[in-house]
């Protein structure tokens, strides 16, 4: 009978001893309270004492209480006995333990092909290299698919809902104005402040206007807007599409013969291609305004002076360069967000990873592409 | 819709399914006739839903093919595949309704995409389909606002939006109370009888299997292939395979009197 006792007076610590009953037989004596929370003896110690034995019995008459701890212990001992070809008689175990053992052994362990063993470092290196190559292939294929979707749009065959497009435009255009204003205003301010400290030493503080205007229009407004959009909108795209994937909503589109590329990715890409240049133009102006605050407030330049200097410093082409780049960044943010979302695994953790990965991918690509553009424009002489 | 043909509607042709090098099921070979309710059954994790994903064209076979009315799916051009897909309706396990759209928009999207109907006509068809699954009046609800059983029924309404020839159901009764699940079974039979559609149902609910199935295939997780094919009631009583008999008798080895009908 299972002696499951809850009284504490019988809770003497669990202990074992091996009693030899013949030249090749032994009895494993179990005693005390076998409760996991009180600590358990190591099965290895008992197993070591069983050398040279052919028959093993159990004696549990002095066990005062037990729980899963005893079952785990005997399971381990029985496993070792089986490996050493020892004939084990379970008769001496409490009945409850015998039944739990039978239950645990009822379904044989399934060979799932997964082992806990660590693969050697060379194999892991190879696996990660092939995984990287495969990820690059998928990325390029996705880019190709998106171009096909754009062509379908031009040919008037693309299938998506206009209302979706307008919702996404609203989400990634007007609703992003607040954060874009804050960031670019402050960046313009900081840029002017750092420039002012240096230029004042040469009595050339008026050139703060040139510095801010050129840096903002050609580079910083576009990059800052793109990074804000990567964190704000790219992550949202990845999370939306990842959740749709988890919920089989993307499968539902595919089985219906509606291309997820056209229905989900295309409107998101279009929205960012349309909104990024507008946001960047706006960011240019806000950034210049931020510089003006320093120029007028700290360097005692008159507003007219500052804006005349700015007008002389930047050309229309500077604006165009920044705005053209921002369109490309928009495509990057949309594609990275959508790709990571569509690739996402079907769990909450996977959706979180997809959002993170979308932001990281976008920011890396934005910076790399910006460097590429800098070299290209330099070679072309702009 | 009523195209009589000698060839079976669906022929699963020596299909092997695998994730990478891990084979889930091999050498599946069976046919489904027009107008049949065909059940894919088997224990949890044996690859029933994976087989469904292969049949509806979501997952490419490792080997073998699926043939619809003599037309191979996986050897076909993408355009032909599109055409075949448009003849399917798929009801997913959790409904898989597009969460950013109302129930009416969900059911209406395939109509809006593939027909030239006017919005008012679409609205009427949508209301009819929702009424058929008992969801009249829920047109403007979002998926998050209705219960699991209603989601599933809305998924069925969406699957039959374009009056498909073949309807696929993935675990229609999973997670439903017995009465809702019975109602969904009745709906499947009713739709088969009235629309003349072919139904392919993935399930392991015995009550459901015996109520609706004309024909069935049993996938075994242990041997990783199909081990029985036929009418489930016949299989329960006469299958030579003990695994199949045990499954269909809910684990009872002796044929119990007055067990499942």
Q: Which domain holds residue A210?
A: 142-380
pLDDT in tens, B177-207: 888 888 889 989 988 998 889 999 999 889 9
ipTM: 0.84
Q: How many CA atoms lie within 13 A of B109 on its CB side?
A: 28
Å from A259 to nearest chain B CA?
10
Instruction: Judge whether B88 is closer than 8 Å to chain A, CB to CB.
Output: yes
Q: Are the beta carbons of A257 and B96 separated by less than 8 Å?
A: no
In B103-142, the residues whose Cβ lies within 8 Å of chain A are 109-110, 113-114
- Please check the confidence at residue B45 and state whether its pLDDT lies above 90: no
The answer to whether A309 touches A209, Cβ cutoff 8 Å, is: yes
Q: For position B260, what pLDDT does the model report? A: 45
Residues A221 and A341 in one domain: yes
Residues A27 and A161 in one domain: no
| B contact test, residue of A158, A164, A252, A260 with most B CBs within 10 A | A252
Domain boundary among A106, A127, A159: A106
Q: Are the beta carbons of B92 and A244 separated by less than 8 Å?
A: no
Residues in chain B with CB shorter than 8 Å from the CB of A254 are 57-58, 85
Residues A94 and A155 in one domain: no
Among candidate residues B52, B99, B159, B171, the one with its CA nearest the CA of residue A249: B99
The answer to whether B213 touches B39, Cβ cutoff 8 Å, is: yes
Q: For position B255, what pLDDT does the model report? A: 52
Q: Are the beta carbons of A252 and B113 separated by less than 8 Å?
A: no
- Strand, helix or coil for residue B249: coil
Name the closest residue on chain B to residue A113, using Cα atoms: B22
Query: Is residue B1 very low, low, confident or very high in pLDDT (cuts 50, 70, 90)?
Result: very low
- Please, which residues bridge with residue B90 across strands? B168
Cα three-residue angle B119-B132-B130, rounded to 5 degrees: 40
- Report yes or no on A368 lying in a domain: yes
Residues A151 and A68 in one domain: no
Q: For position B7, what pLDDT does the model report? A: 65
What residue spans of chain B are helical by DSSP H? 48-55, 78-85, 103-114, 119-132, 148-159, 178-195, 206-212, 232-238, 242-248
Spatial CB neighbours of B247, under 8 Å, sequence gap ≥ 6: B41, B42, B43, B218
Residues A100 and A203 in one domain: no
Residues A148 and A234 in one domain: yes
Å from A73 to nearest chain B CA?
30
Name the token pair of A195.
């420039």
Q: For position B261, what pLDDT does the model report? A: 42
Name the closest residue on chain A to residue B222, using Cα atoms: A110
Residue for token digits 């149902």? Answer: B201
Domain boundary among A85, A106, A127: A106
pLDDT in tens, A264-283: 999 999 999 999 999 999 99
3-state SS of chain A is: CCCCCCCHHHCCECEEEEEECCCCEEEEEEEEEECHHHCCCCHHHHHHCCCCCCEEEEEEEEEEEECHHHHHHHHHHHHHHHHCCCEECHHHCCHHHHHHHHHHHHCCCCCCCCCCCCCCHHHHHHHHHHHHHHHHHHHHHHHHHHHHHHHHHHCCCCCCCHHHHHHHHHHHCHHHHHHHHHHHHHHHHHHHHHHHHHHHCCCCHHHHHHHHHHHHHHHHHHHHHHHHHHHHHHHHHHHHHHHHHHCCHHHHHHHCCCCHHHHHHHHHHHHHHHHHHHHHHHHHHHHHHHHHHHHHHCCCCCHHHHHHHHHHHCCHHHHHHHHHHHHHHHHHHHHHHHHHHHHCCCCHHHHHHHHHHHHHHHHHHHHHHHHHHHHHHHHHCC
Cα three-residue angle B131-B133-B137, rounded to 5 degrees: 40
Which DSSP category does B9 fall into? Answer: S
Cα separations (Å) of B76 from A253, B27, B57, B85? 20, 21, 11, 12
Residues A174 and A264 in one domain: yes
Name the token pair of A206.
């008026």
Domain boundary among A106, A129, A150: A106
Extended strands (E) in B36-79: 37-42, 63-68, 71-72
Q: Are the beta carbons of B85 and A113 separated by less than 8 Å?
A: no
- Residue A116 neighbours by CB distance under 10 Å: 4
Pairing relationship of beta strands B215-220 and B37-42 according to DSSP bridges: parallel
Residues A100 and A179 in one domain: no
For CA atoms A249, A250, A255, A258, give the dihedral sign: positive
What CATH number is associated with residue A87? 3.30.750.24
Cα three-residue angle A30-A31-A35, rounded to 5 degrees: 100
Residues A78 and A206 in one domain: no
Residues in chain B with CB shorter than 8 Å from the CB of A252 are 90, 92, 96-98, 158
- Report yes or no on A136 lying in a domain: no
Q: For position B257, what pLDDT does the model report? A: 47
The answer to whether A224 touches A184, Cβ cutoff 8 Å, is: yes
Instruction: State the Cα–Cα distance between residues A362 and A366, nearest whole angstrom.
Output: 6
- Strand, helix or coil for residue B167: strand
Domain count, chain A: 2
Q: For position B254, what pLDDT does the model report? A: 52
Instruction: Judge whether B44 is closer than 8 Å to chain A, CB to CB.
Output: no
- Report yes or no on A134 lying in a domain: no
- Report yes or no on A93 lying in a domain: yes
Mean pLDDT for B65-88 is 90
- Report yes or no on A114 lying in a domain: no
Residues in chain B with CB shorter than 8 Å from the CB of A152 are none
pLDDT in tens, B126-152: 999 999 888 999 999 999 999 888 898
Q: How many CA atoms lie within 13 A of B84 on its CB side?
A: 22
- Report yes or no on A230 lying in a domain: yes
User: When comparing pLDDT for B230 and B20, which is higher?
Assistant: B230
What global pTM score does this model have?
A: 0.81
Residue for token digits 């990478």? Answer: B20
Query: Is residue B6 very low, low, confident or very high in pLDDT (cuts 50, 70, 90)?
Result: low
Residues A271 and A345 in one domain: yes
Mean pLDDT for B80-100 is 90
- Report yes or no on A135 lying in a domain: no
What is the share, in percent, of chain B residues with pLDDT greater than 70? 94
- Report yes or no on A305 lying in a domain: yes
Smallest Cβ–Cβ distance between A249 and the set B56, B96, B110 belongs to: B96
Q: Are the beta carbons of A244 and B99 separated by less than 8 Å?
A: yes
pLDDT below 70 — which residues of chain A? 1-11, 110-116
Residues A360 and A306 in one domain: yes
Residues A180 and A39 in one domain: no
Name the interface residues of A facing B (CB cutoff 8 Å): 113, 159, 161, 164, 243-244, 247-249, 251-258
């Amino acid at each position: 009978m299972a002696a499951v006792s809850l009284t504490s007076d019988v809770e003497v610590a669990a202990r074992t001893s091996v009693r030899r009953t013949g030249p090749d037989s032994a009895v494993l004596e179990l005693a005390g309270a076998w409760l996991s929370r009180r600590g358990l003896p190591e099965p290895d110690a008992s197993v070591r004492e069983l050398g040279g034995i052919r028959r093993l019995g159990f004696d549990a008459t002095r066990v005062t209480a037990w729980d899963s701890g005893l079952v785990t212990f005997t399971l381990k001992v029985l496993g070792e006995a089986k490996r050493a070809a020892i004939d084990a008689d379970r008769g001496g175990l409490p009945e409850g333990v015998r039944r739990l053992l039978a239950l645990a052994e009822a379904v044989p362990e399934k060979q799932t092909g997964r082992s806990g063993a660590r693969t050697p470092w060379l194999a892991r290196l190879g696996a990660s290299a092939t995984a990287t190559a495969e990820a690059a292939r998928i990325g390029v294929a996705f880019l190709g698919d998106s171009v096909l979707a754009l062509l379908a749009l031009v040919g008037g065959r693309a299938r998506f809902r206009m209302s979706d497009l307008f919702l996404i435009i609203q989400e990634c255009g007007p609703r992003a104005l607040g954060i874009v204003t804050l960031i670019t205003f402050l960046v313009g301010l900081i840029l002017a402040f750092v420039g002012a400290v240096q230029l004042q030493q040469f009595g050339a503080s008026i050139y703060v206007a040139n510095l801010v205007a050129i840096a903002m229009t050609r580079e910083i407004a576009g990059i800052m807007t793109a990074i804000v959009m990567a964190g704000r909108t790219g992550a949202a795209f990845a999370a939306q599409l990842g959740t749709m994937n988890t919920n089989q909503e993307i499968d539902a589109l595919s089985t219906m013969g509606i291309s997820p590329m056209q229905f989900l990715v295309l409107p998101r890409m279009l929205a960012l291609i349309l909104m990024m240049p507008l946001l960047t133009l706006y960011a240019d102006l806000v950034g210049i305004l931020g510089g003006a605050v320093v120029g007028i407030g700290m360097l005692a330049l008159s507003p007219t002076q500052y804006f005349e200097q700015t007008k002389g410093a930047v050309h229309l082409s500077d604006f165009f360069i920044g705005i053209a780049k921002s369109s490309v960044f928009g495509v990057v943010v949309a594609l990275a967000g959508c790709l990571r979302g569509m690739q996402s695994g079907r769990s909450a953790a996977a959706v979180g990873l997809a959002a993170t990965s979308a932001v990281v991918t976008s920011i890396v690509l934005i910076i790399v592409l910006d460097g590429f553009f800098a070299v290209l424009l330099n070679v072309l002489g702009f | 819709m009523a195209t009589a043909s000698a060839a079976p509607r669906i022929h699963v042709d020596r299909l092997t399914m695998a994730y990478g090098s891990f084979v889930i099921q091999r050498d599946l070979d069976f046919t489904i006739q027009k107008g049949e309710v065909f059940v894919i059954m088997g224990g949890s994790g044996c690859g029933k839903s994976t087989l469904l994903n292969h049949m509806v064209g979501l997952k490419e076979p490792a080997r073998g093919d699926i043939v619809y009315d003599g037309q191979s799916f996986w050897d076909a051009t993408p355009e032909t595949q599109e055409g075949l897909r448009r003849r399917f309706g798929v009801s997913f396990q959790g409904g898989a309704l597009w969460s950013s759209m109302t129930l009416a928009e969900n059911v209406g999207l395939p109509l809006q995409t593939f027909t030239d109907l006017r919005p008012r006509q679409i609205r009427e068809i949508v209301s009819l389909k929702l009424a058929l699954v008992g969801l009249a009046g829920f047109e403007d609800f979002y998926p998050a606002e209705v219960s699991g059983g209603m989601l599933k029924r809305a998924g069925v309404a969406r699957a039959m939006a374009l009056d498909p020839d073949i309807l696929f159901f993935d675990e229609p009764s999973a997670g439903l109370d017995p009465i809702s699940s019975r109602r969904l079974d009745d709906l499947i039979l009713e739709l088969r009888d009235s629309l003349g559609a072919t139904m392919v149902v993935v399930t392991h609910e015995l009550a459901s299997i015996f109520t609706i199935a004309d024909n069935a295939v049993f996938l075994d997780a242990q041997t990783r292939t199909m081990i029985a094919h036929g009418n489930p009631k016949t299989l329960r009583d006469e299958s030579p395979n003990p695994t199949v008999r045990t499954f269909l008798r809910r684990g009872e080895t002796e044929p119990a009197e007055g067990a499942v009908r």
